[in-house]
Amino acid sequence: MSPTEPFLSEALAGLSQSPRSLPCKYLYDARGSQLFEDICATRDYYVTRADLALHDAHLDEISRLVGADAHVIEFGSGAGVKTQHLLEALETPRAYTPIEISAAALSDSAAELQRQFPSLEIRPVCADYMQPIDDQALVLEPPARRRVIYFPGSTISNFEHAEALDFLIRMGRGIGADGGILIGVDLLKPAEQLIRAYDDASGVTAEFNINLLHRMVRELDATIDIEAFEHEARFNAEKSRIEMHLVAIRDTAIELGGRHFALNRGESIHTENSHKYSIEGFKALADSAGLRSEKVWTDPDGLFSMHWLRLSRG
């Protein structure tokens, strides 16, 4: 199988649907990942600042709950900025395992964290965390006192509710009876504020979304009139989520894999969701997955939350 075959197959499937869509994971090539880092620094995108403020405000208590000798496993470790804050606060962590699909990003972040924490055992795993992870890659000798899955940011928001439920169930299987999950969850807020965060005034999010089309041209040999599309962020009140779309501003077409996809003016390609939760709403979702939310923290402005999840008892 060629490296681009899954991308081509999923892109063809998404464009064949009605409404049309493309998987959000393909937003994150090297250029897309850099643009996302740029988004996090914009004035309008509050999520990263709120998440860091939450860490700064509550890391002492988080560290006490996690305890000593923990094996921290991070899904989608990325640049590892918040990870550094967590590892600094923990008492003698046993090991850190970043799981990241991008080999380059994984290598860079693991090397930087090893430089900052020279005595910590760092065991990077290059894998798609959306797929089952070989448990042997997570086994330590001697074993840690507990496993803690660390999932900051608000990536859980990108999942449909059924997907989020399945993902939480799989995380629960991975932590064992004494383990825990630290998971970031963005909170529901006024639609205007949410749309501004996903369609920033400086246009970085628009460039991030449109970069997906550039990637299709470059990697899949697609024929696309990129100037015929523009980025749009929409709030879907019924599903409590922000949606990102690529909207055709004139009649156009995409040629991909020997197929022709005609799009009328105003037709869109749905590229990403970001679901927003109330604290009680996410607790109910976790409960459905056999997990109980033992502690919830928010940033000082109440924009973002982090839950400490443990397996339910009986």
Tell me: pLDDT of 12 over 60: yes
pLDDT band of residue 78 (cuts 50, 70, 90) is low
Tell me: pLDDT of 71 over 60: yes
* Residue percentage of the chain with pLDDT more than 90: 81
Mean pLDDT of the 74-95 span: 87
- Give the chain as a 3 state SS string: CCCCHHHHHHHHHHHHCCCEECCHHHHCCHHHHHHHHHHHCCCCCCHHHHHHHHHHHHHHHHHHHHCCCEEEEEECCCCCHHHHHHHHHCCCCCEEEEEECCHHHHHHHHHHHHHHCCCCEECCEECCCCCCCCHHHHCCCCCCCEEEEEECCCHHHHCCHHHHHHHHHHHHHHHCCCCEEEEEEEECCCHHHHHHHHCCCCCHHHHHHHHHHHHHHHHHCCEECHHHEEEEEEEECCCCEEEEEEEECCCEEEEECCEEEEECCCCEEEEEEEECECHHHHHHHHHHCCEEEEEEEECCCCCEEEEEEEECCC
Tell me: pLDDT of 23 over 70: yes
- In tens, the pLDDT along 174-209 reads 998 899 999 999 999 999 999 999 999 999 999 999
pLDDT band of residue 76 (cuts 50, 70, 90) is confident
Q: Read off the pTM.
A: 0.89
CA distance 89 to 190: 33
Residue 107: per-residue pLDDT: 86
CA distance 233 to 119: 45
- In tens, the pLDDT along 270-301 reads 999 999 999 999 999 999 999 999 999 999 99
Angle formed at CA 111 by CA 185 and CA 41, multiple of 5 degrees: 40
- In tens, the pLDDT along 26-64 reads 998 889 988 998 999 999 999 999 999 999 999 999 999
How many CB atoms are closer than 10 A to CB 130? 16
Q: What is the mean pLDDT of the chain?
A: 93
How many CB atoms are closer than 10 A to CB 287? 14
pLDDT band of residue 253 (cuts 50, 70, 90) is very high
Tell me: pLDDT of 104 over 90: no
CA distance 298 to 246: 33
